[in-house]
Structure 1
Amino acid sequence: MSWNIKQKLRSLLQAETNLCPHGQARGGQLKICIVSPSRYQTGMSSLGFQTIYSLLASSAGIMCERAFLPDKEDLKEYHRSGLPLLSLESQRPLSDFDVLAFSTSFEPDYLNIPLILQLAQIPIWAKERTASNPLVVAGGAAFFINPEPAADFLDIICIGEGEELVPALVSALLTSYSDGRHGLYMALSAQPGFYIPSFHQPLYKDDRFTGFNNNPDIPEHIKRPSCELNQHPPSSSVILTPNTEFGDMFLVEVSRGCPRGCRFCTSGFIYGTFRQQECRRILDIAEKGLLHRPKIGLVGAAVSDHSDIGLACSSIIRKGGKVSVSSLRIDRIDTEMLEALVASGHKTISIAPEGGSQRLRDLIKKNLNEAQILDACDMLIARDILNLKLYVIIGLPTETEGDLDELVHLVTMIRERMVVRAKTNCRLGDITVSVNPFIPKPFTPFQWCGMEPLPSLERKVKSLENRFRRIPNVHLKVESLKGCYLQALLSRGDRRCAALLAEMVNSSPLKKAAKTCNMDLDELVYRTIPLDEPLPWGILESADVRMLRKEYERAFGGGVIK
């Protein structure tokens, strides 16, 4: 019954502590619903989602509410009853809002955008909506990597960081234009960071993307505005709830981007220069957070690279709090930070060698050697942090069986160190080897590389399973290979993927949807792209393409994968 759905939404709302000054306001000239294309537990764990909510809710003239992908049981009820998708705060239909704003961090969530529009009883295709339908906007990290697979569902796409774009977007939305939405689109397209998909129509030849037929009155490429991080308060939790995976934490962003430039990872390229918040500002926010939660979660792609990370961690401990970080950079394990993690009760620490062999670590520009990895493990084990999680990528370009042999040897050497320590404290910890297949990402030097075919990856996983099964206290955890295939497709895909996603909304499996849409998915996922070929995401200026090409050539010698 619809009453059950509304009651569940009210229960979620009642469990929250809203720290946003205007977060409970009901007035506002413009009604905006910020939508997470994931379930409540995941969406509310995202600091990015919370930051955009805070920016919108604090904007004059805006009434902001939230909505999420329903849980599986609620999804069935929505389909059965025909009830339109409801917002969290007032339980009103999403179709009653002026604007729906999707905040999307990961490409697989693209699949849920047409589903949410369908549940909201709003036409999923932008071209089929009228002025009587809500304006559909989207932003988030996934969109300034590659917006094309979801572009045809959206009226406006924000390319960049919310602190810079939300004020400009709100100002434009509150302005009256004589020619309605077209005037809004023209005004936004003249500003950096706003992409109007209907103004850029993709062109194809022989089922290959060849470029865009652009509107001559607008810029050919979408520039991403820069954001001076220290001109804004550190992003932090504005809504606390026990119903998330970080329910016992208050989150604070300490840095943005990454200074490392690993060739497979977007973090070192799409965010521009590595920026960090001043320690003083982090601690001011953390002190307020400790009034509500006992633990401070420090967030960033490169937390260990913050110049004052040890001071920040130890200061939080001295204030009576605890500290948590997602993972540690192996060559940046600050002793002061490590002591703070121990004092916070951490029994498991995650580190990321990424490449299983030295050759692969050099290929991806990880700048780590075996001695550094083992020294880091020694530091952790010496402090009785005996449970280690190692993040490793398989299927990197040029990977061989010899590279996998080196991975097994590395894990074996780490375990030997744990065995020695176990003789002192009479307890042997566990090593979890978390294996993820290489997924080529736009705006990285490896964007031209194809993903290794699934049958080959499956053989490698089976081989690792057999080998690690023989080593006590070592556990292998493998990301879903089919899920990674979908992620690679959406990372590298063009606008034709929108039809595929629309088919999958109606429960069509990926292969069946591809057949219906007459699409060769393997071509998009596995193919090595020539360096001179136009790229679907090339319409964005999220990174310096000449620099990416040089890094690719340095990795493979002369620009070809050997």
Structure 2
Amino acid sequence: MIVKDQLEKILYRVNSPTRYIGDEWNAVKKEWTPDKIKVAVAFPDVYEIGMSHLGLKIIYHLLNKQDDIICERTYAPWVDMEEELRKNDIPLFSLESKHEIKDFDILGFTLQYEMSYTNILTMIDLAGLPLHSKDRGEEYPLVIGGGSTVFNPEPLAPFFDLFFIGEAETGIVELVRRYDQYKQRGLNREDILLKLSEIPGVYVPSLYELEYGNEGQVVSIDTVKPGVKERIKKQVVNDLDKSFHPVDFIVPYKSIVHDRAVVEIARGCTRGCRFCAAGISYRPVRERKKDTIVRLADKILTSTGYEELSLVSLSTIDYSGIEDLIKTLATRYEDRRISISLPSLRVDRFSVNLAKEVQRVRKSGLTFAPEAGTQRLRDVINKGVKEEDLYEAVTSAFKEGWSTLKLYFMIGLPTETEEDIAGIVKLAKKVLELGKEIRRSNKKKMKPIKVQVSVSTFIPKPFTPFQWVAMDDKDTIIEKQNYLKKNLRGRGLSFSWNDPDLSILEGIFSRGDRRLASTLEQAWAMGCRFDGWNEHFNMDKWLRAFEKSGVDIDTYLKKRDINEILPWDHIDMGVSKKFLIKEYEAALRGETTEDCRNGYCPGCAVCFNLDAKLELVGADNSENQG
């Protein structure tokens, strides 16, 4: 069914109706014919966040490049729109054709943030699908998931038919076509899932069962049928330079979070920060060549009309030819008043100089992330930043005319002491004083110096060297936040922090198992939606949900033994567990590990296990170095 006529009766009653109308510039609209495979890609948050996500753009345009596939989008409706849809019996629909999601063959979710999980249940329910995979018959779409939190999909396992582990460009087209082939052959849903599980990277949770011990720990992970692979290996793009990158980005009618042209210049990071899940999940580093990046940028800017170009990567500034690339792009687009943005900066003078180069057209703020307040703790987390690096960087920034800097830290890091918390205050005040001194001595007029300190709570993540550590409890988090609130005061200083309850809930789900699915469903049934949004987050409802489902919160926050089975141990990220343990032990000794792009191999084994390698293009745009 097409719901367009019904929508016209309700859109005037909701906030931001442009979230739901579609018809944007570069949106792909194909004729619905029986021979086409229909895929709905879903982002479990509002339109302006989902539209900013590069991964969703890649999948959408890659699938639509195939003549036999139709791919359309859907996003989580805001609470007012959900109310209108339910009140008027309008099902969840796609933006392009306004078809019901139930009309599609596949519903694919991008999983980016644990606190969007209740929105997934909302979207499945609004689509008219049973919440649980086991309750869906042949007439329902296949529900699949991928993305950055898919590396521990266990809390969502009962709701999904399958997950794709890794970088979807490697296998999503094959997955879609094989599903269609098996349906055409008349296979039932159970047999189709068994056949699809043979595809590298495909994880069908119903083919695995977890057994738990008396203390809440996982004691075994077993397959339920013979021949099912015991471990699911992450899939990676081996040659990013030749990998698909969209150029006809959809241009929205309303402002979105990242409303600009985007080129992914590299994938992966080898700096080895021990708290960073993405740094492990997206290894090894692979870079695009400069000529390829320039060609993509030209096409995207022409296709979209954007006046800002963002060069994205986990660590953009580490791109091996970054200086040459920036100068080339800045010179190329300066006359057209197109600005270049770098989403990540290192804490050094080099980053400031590059920021100066890219912000010739328009100057924005700078953010530096020391992460910890003392050198001891920065060594524990393997941040690779010295205090003198920070002072040199901010001094350079102030001298170049920046008056507002943002400093990013974490609290609750392993081995943290009171001295480390006090170090955040000391460091921030020192940066402020440096700025004021430069302003006083500067002959040019400068705006008043402002130092914005942002502090988040450390959350242990799967597949990191800190996946075994305990997370701070609520009282401890609040005590540390109160100390910072009291001491980060005064003219020019501002302090922001996150909700401790929200951090704890994220921590629970990040290292969770399938037992959390019942808690998730209970919380959703009680009305939890958009939990990552402060105005909607309700911890009281979540606490009742834990109580109703009989799930003990402390089970998921406590320290884990390095020898115990973890809920995600059947997922193979390529990085060996032996390496993670070695890094965990090095952290406790305060020892650092060198970046492998400098020629030292720390032994993570990802290149060997995934048959991939470090791909650096070099400043001269030469061939691979690693």
TM over 0.5: yes
The match for 1:431 is 451
Please name the residue that 1:553 is paired with: 585
SS in structure 2 opposite 1:65? strand
Is 2:564 the partner of 1:533? Answer: yes
| Counterpart check, 1:308 vs 2:308 | no
Contact 2:41 2:71 in 1 (8 A): yes
TM alignment of 1:138-537, pairs within 5 A: 138-144=145-151, 146-176=152-182, 177-206=185-214, 207-214=216-223, 215-228=225-238, 229-234=240-245, 238-246=249-257, 248-291=259-302, 292-320=305-333, 321-331=338-348, 333-334=350-351, 337-423=354-440, 424=442, 425-469=445-489, 471-507=490-526, 509-525=541-557, 527-537=558-568
TM-score, normalising length: structure 1: 0.94
- Name the structure 1 match of 2:615: none
**Higher mean C-alpha deviation, range 174-183 or range 211-220:** 174-183
For residues 322 and 383 of structure 1, the distance between their equivalents in structure 2, rounded to whole angstroms, comes to 18
C-alpha separation in 1, matches of 2:117 and 2:368: 29
Secondary structure, aligned partner of 2:502: helix
Query: How far apart are the structure 1 equivalents of 2:226 and 2:328?
Result: 55
Identity %: 32
1:252–1:282 CA contact under 8 A, matched in 2:
yes
| 1:4–1:262 CA distance, 2 compared to 1 (3 A) | farther
1:162, CA displacement in angstroms?
1.5
One-letter code aligned to 2:236: S
Give the Å deviation of 1:236: 5.6
- Residue 536 of structure 2 is matched in structure 1 by none
Q: Is the CA contact (8 Å cut-off) linking 2:19 and 2:48 kept in structure 1? A: no
Question: What amino acid is aligned across from residue 377 of structure 1 in structure 2?
Answer: V
Determine if the alignment matches structure 1 residue 115 to structure 2 residue 128.
Answer: no
Q: 1:231 to 1:347 in 2, by over 3 A?
A: closer
Unpaired runs of 5+ in structure 2?
Answer: 1-5, 528-540, 592-626
Quick one: distance in 2 between partners of 1:280 and 1:89? 34
Are positions 1:3 and 2:18 aligned together?
no
Instruction: Determine the structure 1 residue equivalent to 2:71.
Output: 64
Q: Deviations over 1:81-134 (max 9, x none)?
A: 232112111222211111111111222222221111111121000011111111
Give the secondary-structure state (helix, strand or coil) at the position aligned to 2:569: helix
| CA contact 1:303–1:328 (8 Å) conserved in 2 | yes
Residues 30 and 70, structure 2, Cα contact 8 Å, conserved in 1:
no
Question: Any conservation in 1 of the 2:273–2:382 contact (CA below 8 Å)?
Answer: yes
Q: How far is the alpha carbon of 1:5 from its aligned partner?
A: 4.6
The whole-number CA distance in structure 1 between the counterparts of 2:278 and 2:172 is 22
Question: Which residue identity lines up with residue 3 of structure 1 in the other structure?
Answer: E
Give the alignment partner of residue 40 of structure 2, picking from 7, 20, 33. 33
Within 2, Cα distance between the matches of 1:367 and 1:452?
24
What RMSD, in angstroms, separates the aligned Cα atoms of the two structures? 2.1
- Matched-pair contact (CA < 8 Å) for 2:404–2:451: yes
* Range 72-81 or range 527-536, more displaced: 72-81
For the Cα contact (< 8 Å) 2:401–2:446, is it kept in 1?
no
- Compared with structure 1, are the counterparts of its residues 325 and 499 closer, same or farther at alpha carbon in structure 2 (3 Å cutoff)? same
Tell whether the 8 Å contact from 1:331 to 1:376 is kept in structure 2 after alignment: yes
Distance 1:479 1:237 in 2: 36
Q: 1:135 to 1:426 in 2, by over 3 A?
A: closer
Aligned letter for 1:410?
L
Structure 1 unaligned regions, length at least 5 = none
Q: Is the 8 A contact 1:159 1:194 kept in 2?
A: yes
User: Given that residues 114 and 509 in structure 2 are in contact (C-alpha distance below 8 angstroms), is that contact kept between their aligned partners in structure 1?
Assistant: yes
C-alpha separation in 1, matches of 2:31 and 2:473:
51
Q: Give the secondary-structure state (helix, strand or coil) at the position aligned to 1:326.
A: coil
Report Cα offsets for 1:350-392 as digits up to 9, x if no partner.
1111112111100000011100011111121111122111110
CA distance in 2, matches of 1:108, 1:237: 30
Say if 1:391 and 1:237 are closer, same or farther in 2 by CA, change over 3 A: farther
Cα-to-partner distance string for 1:510-542 (whole Å, 9 max, x where unaligned)? 1000010001112212x0000000000111001
The 8 Å contact of residues 84 and 121 in structure 1, kept in 2 or not, is answered as: yes
Contact 1:44 1:244 survives alignment (8 Å):
no
> Offset at 1:246?
4.4
CA distance in 2, matches of 1:186, 1:342: 53
Taking the aligned partners of 1:431 and 1:194, their CA distance within structure 2 comes to 46
1:544 corresponds in structure 2 to 576
**Counterpart-to-counterpart distance in 1, 2:463 and 2:360:** 39
Q: Mark the CA change 1:259 to 1:500 in structure 2 (over 3 Å): closer, same or farther.
A: same
> How many residues in Structure 1 have an aligned counterpart in Structure 2?
554
